[in-house]
Structure 1
Amino acid sequence: MTDQAQAAARSLHPQRWRLLGFLGAAQLMLILDVTVVAVALPQMGADLGLARDSLTWVVSAYTLAFGGLMLIGGRAADIWGPGRVVTTGLLIFTTASLVTGFASNAETLVGGRVAQGVGAALISPAALSTLVRIFHGEERNRALGVWSALGGVGAAIGVLLGGVLTAGLGWSWVFWINVPVGLVVVVALLRLMPPLPGSGPGTRLDVIGAVLVTAATGATTYALIDAGHRGWGSGRTMGLVGLGLVLYAVLAGWLRAVRQPLFEPRLLARRAVLAGTFVLFVTTALMVSVFFLGTFHLQEREGHGPLVTGLLFLPVALATMIGAQLGGRLIGQAGGRRLGVAALVLAAAGLVVPALATGTVSTVVAVSVAAGGLGALFVVASVTALAQVEPEDAGVASGVLSTFHELGATLGAAVMSGVAAASLVTGSGAGFERAYLVAAAVALVGAAVTAALIPAPVPAPEGAAAR
């Protein structure tokens, strides 16, 4: 984009930073709704008489719908415009939150969580697509830094907020808190959202492609959830993994054959998109590992209650925010490759410490160091994948990123629950130590792959205008 075009784009959106604030509030709700609900599960089970499997599905139903439908949400944003899609998603999410809070049985509770996931799958890629289209150059990097910080901050705040709401007002309020926030954000977006048109009435949603990608992603996500309970070698887990791979293969053939595919396969063939997607997948898996291991470690081994554990995670949230903001400022100078490798090495260093030194202080400090590196990596992933994407593909590219965000989160939780299984039951240290070492090793392997995969920055021609 030329300087003149960039200036024109900026002049159309004078309130873009306020808009980022409200879109960020919407995204924060989606992130909060994983950890805030997890803390409230014991009280839900006691009040409604829910079995262990039903409680598991209260969390899994949301992540399954969220992860499985995001490519459709992203493509819908490209076709009908991100403003319309994000407000529709917010209305669905807010209504579902109200209904779920009134649930008196497992069916209503799980059904409400599925509906929340549908709304979230529309909101997240459409909101990210909006940011890609209204911010440019270094401003985009800083905006993505803010956006990226929401992941870790939201997860940490969710642990604390879930404990406070459940202990005070009751578990229903972990859902009802979304209602006033959602309505305020909808009203604000109706006033602030600029006209970002879609691709026009001649473009149709590829229904068959949408069904295939939803089924493939749903089967894969379900397999990862199932692996955390039944083990990776169970027949059902392996069958679901195989089904997901077959459906993805069928989807690849369909996308090449249809005139107006759900998304162009060439998008995923781009090295930058592939690299950014890989970094986000690994980063999210590691971030979930940090929260999963940290919360259980501090409660089961160190003996802290849920509220104290939530407070101890505030430094982790702050470190994530600082890492994301520094990442947004440094990536333009250092480049995605160098910053990504450095951040993954930093994350590995933080994750290995709790495996070698026990104690509350050392665990919190080390996990905060790791979270700082992971915060920067969210920016690396977003900027690398989306920097060169055309506006008409911004929604589906955001949907691809968001899908792998959820797959990474699900895989991280499944793997860590398996590796740390003994400690989760007995509170002993061996399983936790082994899991921290596995997470550190994943970070180091990720650093090596990142160094090879992210393209080197192309130097600007001498005398070229700064963008």
Structure 2
Amino acid sequence: MTAPSQTRRWRLLALLGTAFFMTILDGTSLLTALPAIEHRLHLHGPAIQWTVTAYALAFGGLLLLCGRAADLLGRRRVFIAGMLLRVVASLACGLAPSIQVLVAARALQGVSAAIIAPAALSMVMNAFPDTERNKALGIWGGLGGLGATAGLLLGGIITDTLGWQWVFWINVPVGALVLMLAPTVLRESRDRAGSRSFDIAGALTITPALALLVYIITRMQTSGWADVKSVGLLATVAVLVWLFILIEKRSAAPLVPFRALRSRMLIGGNLLLLIAGMTVDGMLITLTSFVQQVLGWPAAQFGLVAAMMTVAAVAGALLSQRVVTRLGLRRVAAAGTVLLGCGCLLLTRIPAGGPMSLLPTALCLFGAGMGATTVCAQIAALTGVTENDSGLAAGLADTSFAVGTALGTAICSSVAAARTSAIGGPAPLALTAGQHAAFEATGVFVALALITALTLLGKRSGRSRTGSADASENVSTGAPSTSP
């Protein structure tokens, strides 16, 4: 098949980017609406957190399976099914009369996001030829950064003006528009070389393993890291992963063909996405707590300040995709992690009652680093991937980032709580000390990201078993430019 025209490619990116943006927006916009939801449903204690946990479990657990399903069943077909489910689930979230119904609807939203994200990303990477793919992925990464940080602004404004229900209902008209345009803008594509049968045994092991892993990470914020139940669940995850590997080695149509995982660049990209997710959400959850508990800012005020980080993230993503071909992934990714580290360092210097002059600079540095690092990581994670495996590779990249966000949130929340408890004393000073410790933890994550960029995103990583070059310093994603 011939590649789609340039106009059609950019229309495809605009449509899929809109769906992706709304998927990312949901996560952070909900954080600002949680107090209003808790008050409206008369909740006390940790029950409200299940609205976040249910989404994370469904999303993180199903990404790999849904990515492979898109390859086998058809990416446009799977994407449209996911959008339909998202509209229904979002409507149900806003209408929920109880926490039980809301949690169930949020789980369905997580399922829809797991369906949409890998299918959309695989269609984007297959629609663009090598010469334009990095630019498209830069825009895609910019949309991700924009959605993650804009949610902090829009969520507060929507909750204060329209009510918390509209944090969910805004998905309904946008989803309906995407569904209306999808049949004409998107073309169907799938892995025509492979079997359309699913590896049921593989799915029944890796899906609960990923969901359990996300659950363990989220519960560690309250139960601690040495909890007996958590240790037992981790052992269960290890057994499930071991069984999954055995099943995949013997399967005629594996859910995850290991030939696709032998690229050092792909491994480096996914590891960098994992650490970037830890850093970004670890910082955001800590900063949100800082401005609410210590500074006493309303959600809308914090959202306006966070908008600076949004602009910087988009600029970092777009600039990095322009220079990555000349400078190479390793240099650009390393520069991005350095900017992240500088932002984290400045955040540790912000006092509880002093001037906030450092905050804008810290957020701009962090945002620019976030945009550059995530785009480079995503390019690396999709380098050398054939069209037939593009849904799987996209699902793996999304899984890495999703697990990273859960892990970063859990670690930073635990560090902040432990430090606050150890310091005691006046509440603002103790809270500030705890949150500074959490910012320092994100600095450790950044150091790991820098090591990953310098060691795994090297000049050559050899050739994969599929016959395509894994990567070079003068990078291109290497996937075929056939039409989706």
| 8 Å contact from structure 2 (residues 73, 196) kept in 1 | no
Residue aligning to 2:75: 82
Q: Give the alignment partner of residue 338 of structure 1, picking from 326, 331, 335.
A: 331
Residue aligning to 1:355: 348
- 1:398-437 equivalent positions in 2, closer than 5 A: 398-421=394-417, 426-427=427-428, 428-437=431-440
Matched position secondary structure for 2:357: helix
Describe the shift of the 1:326–1:201 C-alpha distance in structure 2 as closer, same or farther (beyond 3 A): closer
Describe the shift of the 1:400–1:459 C-alpha distance in structure 2 as closer, same or farther (beyond 3 A): closer
Describe the shift of the 1:368–1:236 C-alpha distance in structure 2 as closer, same or farther (beyond 3 A): farther
User: Between the two proteins, what is the percent identity of the paired residues?
Assistant: 34
Shift of 1:459: 7.2
Match status 1:444 vs 2:451: no
66-75 or 434-443: bigger deviation: 434-443
- 1:270-281 equivalent positions in 2, closer than 5 A: 270-281=263-274
Counterpart Cα distance in 2 of 1:132 and 1:314: 28
Match status 1:192 vs 2:185: yes
Residue aligning to 2:3: 9
Residue aligning to 1:464: none
- 1:138-217 equivalent positions in 2, closer than 5 A: 138-199=131-192, 202-217=195-210
| 8 Å contact from structure 1 (residues 152, 287) kept in 2 | no
Which digits, 9 at most, give the CA deviation of each residue in 1:247-275, with x for residues without a partner?
11111111001111101122223211101
Describe the shift of the 1:364–1:232 C-alpha distance in structure 2 as closer, same or farther (beyond 3 A): farther
Which digits, 9 at most, give the CA deviation of each residue in 1:262-300, with x for residues without a partner?
011222232111011011111111111221122222222
Counterpart Cα distance in 2 of 1:445 and 1:284: 12
Shift of 1:198: 3.6
Shift of 1:130: 0.3
| 8 Å contact from structure 2 (residues 195, 253) kept in 1 | no
Amino acid across the alignment from 1:386: L
Shift of 1:104: 0.4
The number of equivalent residue pairs is 454
TM-score scaled by length of structure 2: 0.90
320-329 or 35-44: bigger deviation: 35-44
Counterpart Cα distance in 2 of 1:325 and 1:273: 21
Counterpart Cα distance in 1 of 2:92 and 2:473: 54
Matched position secondary structure for 1:420: helix
Describe the shift of the 1:253–1:347 C-alpha distance in structure 2 as closer, same or farther (beyond 3 A): same
Which digits, 9 at most, give the CA deviation of each residue in 1:118-155, with x for residues without a partner?
11100000000001100122311111111111222112
Residue aligning to 1:267: 260
| 8 Å contact from structure 1 (residues 351, 436) kept in 2 | yes
> What root-mean-square deviation, in Å, do the aligned CA atoms of Structure 1 and Structure 2 show?
1.8
Counterpart Cα distance in 1 of 2:381 and 2:159: 39
Shift of 1:156: 1.5
Shift of 1:357: 4.0
Counterpart Cα distance in 1 of 2:114 and 2:473: 37
Matched position secondary structure for 1:232: coil
Shift of 1:422: 5.6
| 8 Å contact from structure 2 (residues 75, 188) kept in 1 | no
Residue aligning to 1:365: 361
- 1:28-427 equivalent positions in 2, closer than 5 A: 28-199=21-192, 202-358=195-351, 359-421=355-417, 426-427=427-428
Matched position secondary structure for 1:263: coil
| 8 Å contact from structure 2 (residues 275, 448) kept in 1 | no
Counterpart Cα distance in 2 of 1:96 and 1:248: 30
| 8 Å contact from structure 1 (residues 138, 332) kept in 2 | no
Match status 1:453 vs 2:459: no
Counterpart Cα distance in 2 of 1:154 and 1:330: 23
194-203 or 74-83: bigger deviation: 194-203
Amino acid across the alignment from 1:136: P
364-373 or 307-316: bigger deviation: 364-373
Which digits, 9 at most, give the CA deviation of each residue in 1:362-396, with x for residues without a partner?
12311220221111111111111212100000000
Matched position secondary structure for 1:182: helix
Which runs of 5 or more structure 1 residues have no equivalent in the other structure? Answer: 461-466
Counterpart Cα distance in 2 of 1:321 and 1:400: 23
TM-score scaled by length of structure 1: 0.93
Shift of 1:200: 6.6
238-247 or 174-183: bigger deviation: 238-247
| 8 Å contact from structure 1 (residues 222, 240) kept in 2 | no
Residue aligning to 2:424: none
Shift of 1:317: 0.5
196-205 or 353-362: bigger deviation: 196-205
| 8 Å contact from structure 1 (residues 421, 431) kept in 2 | yes
Shift of 1:169: 1.7
Residue aligning to 2:477: none
Counterpart Cα distance in 1 of 2:290 and 2:448: 24
| 8 Å contact from structure 1 (residues 148, 378) kept in 2 | yes
Residue aligning to 2:464: none
Shift of 1:423: 7.3
Shift of 1:440: 1.2
Which runs of 5 or more structure 2 residues have no equivalent in the other structure? Answer: 422-426, 461-471, 475-480
Amino acid across the alignment from 1:400: L
Shift of 1:454: 1.4
Amino acid across the alignment from 1:361: S
